[in-house]
A and B are shown apart, each in its own frame.
Chain A
Amino acid sequence: MSEAMLRLIDVSRVFQLGGGLFSQPRLLHALDGVSLDLHKGEVLALVGESGSGKSTLSRILLGLDKPTAGDVLFDGRSIRKLPRREFTQRVQPIFQDPYSSLNPRKTVRQIIEMPLILQGRHSRAERLRRVRELLDLLRMPARMLDAYPSQMSGGQRQRVAIGRALISRPEVVICDEPTSALDVSVQAQVLNLLMELRAELNLTYLFISHDLAVVEYIADRVAVMQAGKIVEIADVDGLFSRPQSDYTKNLLASALVIPEMADVEPVAGQK
């Protein structure tokens, strides 16, 4: 087995809801003892419905939130002790909504070069060269350099967001529902692009999604979350052919994939 890039050890996150002077605060266990390994070079999908805790998990992995209990190790070291700058350079996010994840007042170039500016080691010319290289890699024309997000389509915006995540040459990319706001044809392009880039740049993905069909297409392993716990984790073949937990079975039964050509059953429940 290859080494674990990210390792979650018994991570919990408890939110206190309400609670005034006289009332006891209600406790919400968003994450409840989650342990998970993300191995170098793999695509690990995290599947769950709304409220399952997958967003809280991604916030913790990005350092935006701290676990109430447990620890997260990156490359063998606790992220509490790791310098923030080193961590953010090596772990980068891609968000769900390309319409709100890009600052509307910045050009493509300003958006993509931001992580390099934060590192503070690159000259202007060097940054521009890297941004151009990356646009090439993203199959975007160079004339997009000075465009604003409002001038671009959803697919182009998401490419820019991917570019911003990749410019610092990270090892791990946390993709939080990166295609669920996109049309299917654009989703296909973005998924293919992500997978091509993974091969070219030797990336490790944590891919958070609610869409089982997408997950089956790209993931090596799948972790299913429900109510703050991981109920099942297996490689993708195993999970889809022999789901163990009832929840996973229910999820699989509910997923609406296009029926196979041979046995199209047009209307639900019609026997």
Chain B
Amino acid sequence: MSSPSLEQGLSNQIADLRPTPSQLMWRRARNHRGLAIGSLIVFIVLLCGLAAPFIAPHDPYAQDLTKRLLPAVWSENGTWEHVFGTDALGRDYLSRILYGARISFLIGISAALGSCLIGAALGLLAGYYGGRVDSVVTFFVSVRLALPVVLVALATVSLFGGKLWIVVAVLSLLLWDRFAVVVRSATMQLRSQEFVVAARAMGCSTPRILLGELLPNLVGPLVVVGSLEIAHAILLESALSFLGLGVQPPTPSWGLMVAEGKGMIFFDSRLIALPGAAIALLVLGINLVGDGVRDVLAPEGKA
């Protein structure tokens, strides 16, 4: 048995650097199967949306009444010219689905960003100041939770019309509660840490403490909640569009396409199945990414 020397003890203290937090995260991320599958799905759908003008075989708005309801390539009489066939107005279905990804991402991401902004701001203030500020914010959260999301969204959109920015604004104002709750509790834990006290003692202003010291520590939870809220917003947008109160025709939106196809459900189920599958696939992918990101960022919280 060789006895460890004192030098060893000392060299332990100036030992080579341990891996950085980001290196550790990469290590965990690489071994996470759900995250890999989810990111692949999201990446492909995103690519389809971004590259739609280049890869879409036809103009998604171009109607051709001579080519109404052409079948998809895998059914009888299908042609490679219209791989997914055409809709009731003779528009190329594949092109519309590719363009539809843009709308879903646009609405999902902007609504999540908007609600993140509202929720994180309220949560930070509530968690940092506590007391009255906290009571007010908690009250707002309770009020928001008491509102039935779909009904309020329907009412507002029918009042102000289905413009894209209105849909985004309404969704932002309805989805911020989870951000606020998560950020509030995380901030409360951080607030009592000595580095926050140290920053105050060094003379940091409150905005600097909130944005410079606390916010970087909240990135993890925000990303996790954010990805789940993107999926949530995409689903809500589809629901609103399906009910005719979201994105207005002729914009290619998956929810709207399902709505337009519902009359044909018994004759041509592809009109509903294809956009429906697209929605399900994207939401599944985003949720997988969200769960994966949570595991990667906070492995100890995984029960």
Contacts and interface: CB of A to CB of B under 8 A. Distances in A.
A64 interface: yes
B120 to A, nearest CB: 16
Given A85-B203, A147-B20, 12 more contacts: A64-B200, A95-B198, A100-B195, A101-B194, A101-B195, A103-B199, A103-B216, A104-B21, A144-B17, A148-B20, A155-B13, A164-B198
B213 A103 contact: yes
The 4 closest A-B pairs by CB, nearest first: A88-B203, A101-B194, A105-B216, A62-B201
Nearest to B213: A103
A63 B201 contact: yes
Contacts of B20: 147-148, 151
Interface string A150-166: 11110110000100100
Contact of A103 (B14, B217, B219): B217
A186 B202 CA distance: 25
Interface in A83-131: 84-85, 87-89, 92-93, 95-97, 100-106, 114-115, 118
Contacts of B17: 143-144, 147, 151-152
Contacts of B200: 64
Interface residues of A, number: 38
Interface of B: 9, 12-15, 17-21, 193-195, 197-204, 208, 213, 216-217, 219
Interface string A179-202: 000000110000000000000000
9 contacts: A64-B200, A93-B201, A95-B194, A100-B193, A102-B195, A104-B21, A105-B219, A114-B204, A150-B21
A115 B195 CA distance: 13
A249 B148 CA distance: 68
A266 interface: no
Contacts of A186: 13
A140 B174 CA distance: 51
Contact of A95 (B12, B197, B203, B213): B197
B217 A105 contact: yes
A62 B204 CA distance: 13
A85 B205 CA distance: 10
Contacts of A153: 12-13, 15
B217 A97 contact: no
A153 to B, nearest CB: 5
Contacts of A97: 194
A151 B18 contact: yes
Contacts of B197: 64, 95, 101
A115 B198 contact: no
A118 B204 contact: yes
Interface in A49-88: 62-64, 84-85, 87-88
A147 B19 CA distance: 9
Given A96-B194, A100-B195, A103-B195, A114 B216 contact: no
A20 interface: no
B28 to A, nearest CB: 14
B9 A118 contact: no
A141 interface: yes
Contact of A104 (B13, B15, B217): B217
A106 B193 CA distance: 15
A156 B13 contact: yes
A105 B202 CA distance: 18
A106 B216 contact: yes
Contacts of B14: 141, 156
A100 B199 CA distance: 12
Contacts of B12: 153
Nearest to A119: B203
A187 B79 CA distance: 79
A43 B13 CA distance: 28
Contacts of B15: 153
A148 B21 contact: yes
B209 to A, nearest CB: 10
Nearest to A83: B203
A106 B202 CA distance: 16
Interface in A127-145: 141, 143-144
A239 B219 CA distance: 51
Contacts of B203: 84-85, 87-89, 115, 118
A246 B235 CA distance: 73
Given A93-B201, A150-B18, A185 B194 contact: no
Contacts of A114: 199, 202, 204
B135 to A, nearest CB: 15
A158 B228 CA distance: 39
A150 B208 CA distance: 23
A113 to B, nearest CB: 11
